[in-house]
Amino acid sequence: MESREKAKQGKTDRINNTPSADRSASSLVIEPYRRELLLHCYRLLGSLYDAEDAVQDAMLRAWRHFDTFTESDPGSLRRWLYTIATNTSLDMLKKRSPRTLPTVTAPASDAMKPVAPKNSEVLWLEPFPDSWLVEASEDPEARYSRHESISLAFLTALQILPPRQRAILLLSDVLDWRAAEIAHLLEISVGAVNSALHRARVALEKNYQLEQPERMQFDGTNAAINTLLARYLKMWESDDVDGLVALLKEDATLSMPPVPSWYQGRDAIRRVLLAVLFPAGVRNRWRLSPTHANGQPAFVVYRANEATGSYQAFALQVIALAGTPGDGWQIASVTAFLDPDLAASFGFPSQLPH
């Protein structure tokens, strides 16, 4: 966390060194695009923290070179800013491996064996707060909807693509840009764009299955789903492992990046919950605060700290749901990102009173 704060401070210092008159004039027209650029960079990079860095760098470049932008059309300004943000992200991707989740790096783990230690050498996908999603900037006619294109399943498959193919697919199929616009952004031919887009779509189709009819886009208004999530929270806070397991699909999955181990099926998940998260003799260990991430329900998870007498931020869980209105809803997967710093990113305190 300290290194992230130092990096952010360094970027802030560079911005503050830009002449104030230049900053104030350009910020009025540039700043309104920050949130949608952050979402675009997040899709490219798979990391909330990296996306923040990319947008900060892109904004700095835009501020410094704003005098070179001469067109008055807001659409032209948006394309110019996306050009800077996309190229900034592509530059970052030259130095980074693709991000991923445990469920695609190895087969399901044996619950009878110890959970593997955290693996910080792998770059893991990170969650994105729904409160940061952009409502109006994306074309509703695009191939992928806003919520689908932010789902963990889509982003995991997207990370398999080479960076430039990834950028082309996002610009075309999520933002609904024309091939000529993408070609201009990347300084390549329209034919090269169409060829790369075809390859990207073929590769994505092999690794990503469009959302099933029984999977519902979560918007927080479905009473049955809200009841299920309330029960889930209650089971965690009351140490009711059997009650938790009863809410899962038979083939549900549990993953906990940066732990590479992941588990599938009620029996395996129950065994891990009892061995690791709800050990015998420990009560009232967990508190959960509801939120939303990647178009799905989520919870900020706090763990009791006996030394301080409080609950400390521990993880962020993203919940995938499956079912139908007639048959009811179940939990299809739980992805628990074991990063206490995510609480602050989602607008929650680092600790709760006991």
What pLDDT digit, counting tens, does each position of 218-234 carry? 666 788 999 999 999 99
Q: Are residues 97 and 189 in the same domain?
A: yes
Domain that holds residue 172: 2-207
Q: What is the pLDDT of residue 90?
A: 97
What mean pLDDT do residues 54-68 have?
88
- Using 50, 70 and 90 to split pLDDT, how confident is the model at 305? very high
On whether residue 216 sits in a domain, the answer given is no
Q: Are residues 25 and 106 in the same domain?
A: yes
Q: Are residues 234 and 183 in the same domain?
A: no
Q: How many domains does the chain have?
A: 2
Q: Are residues 167 and 269 in the same domain?
A: no
Which of 150, 180, 207 terminates a domain? The answer is 207
- Using 50, 70 and 90 to split pLDDT, how confident is the model at 345? very high
Task: For the chain, give the mean pLDDT.
Answer: 88
On whether residue 184 sits in a domain, the answer given is yes
On whether residue 267 sits in a domain, the answer given is yes
* pTM, entire model: 0.88
Structure tokens at 132: 């940061």
Q: Are residues 187 and 292 in the same domain?
A: no
Q: Are residues 176 and 248 in the same domain?
A: no
Q: What is the pLDDT of residue 307?
A: 83
Q: Are strands 296-305 and 286-293 parallel, antiparallel or unpaired?
A: antiparallel
- Residue with the bigger pLDDT between 115 and 325: it is 115
Q: Are residues 201 and 345 in the same domain?
A: no
On whether residue 249 sits in a domain, the answer given is yes
Which of 160, 180, 207 terminates a domain? The answer is 207
Q: What is the pLDDT of residue 9?
A: 52
Q: What is the pLDDT of residue 37?
A: 95
On whether residue 213 sits in a domain, the answer given is no
- Using 50, 70 and 90 to split pLDDT, how confident is the model at 126? very high
- Using 50, 70 and 90 to split pLDDT, how confident is the model at 306? confident
Spell out the residues 6+ positions from residue 331 whose beta carbon is closer than 8 angstroms to its own.
Answer: 228, 232, 247, 248, 249, 252, 319, 320, 321, 322
DSSP-derived secondary structure letter, 284: S
Q: Are residues 322 and 256 in the same domain?
A: yes
Q: Are residues 30 and 150 in the same domain?
A: yes
Region of residue 73 (phi > 0: left; psi between -120 and 50: alpha; otherwise: beta): beta
What mean pLDDT do residues 49-64 have?
93
Least confident range of 69-78, 87-96, 198-207, 339-348: 69-78
* Res. 210: pLDDT tops 80: no
* Res. 6: pLDDT tops 90: no
Q: Are residues 50 and 139 in the same domain?
A: yes
Q: What is the pLDDT of residue 31?
A: 87
What mean pLDDT do residues 112-119 have?
95
Spell out the residues 6+ positions from residue 56 whose beta carbon is closer than 8 angstroms to its own.
Answer: 8, 11, 15
Q: Are residues 101 and 155 in the same domain?
A: yes
Which of 151, 179, 207 terminates a domain? The answer is 207
On whether residue 74 sits in a domain, the answer given is yes
Q: Are residues 281 and 327 in the same domain?
A: yes
What pLDDT digit, counting tens, does each position of 241-267 carry? 999 999 999 999 999 999 999 999 999
On whether residue 63 sits in a domain, the answer given is yes
Mutual angle of helices 34-45 and 48-64, in 10-degree steps: 130
- Looking at residue 276, which CATH number applies to its domain? 3.10.450.50
On whether residue 177 sits in a domain, the answer given is yes
* Res. 22: pLDDT tops 60: no
What mean pLDDT do residues 4-31 have?
56
With a pLDDT cut of 90, the percent of the chain lying above it is 69
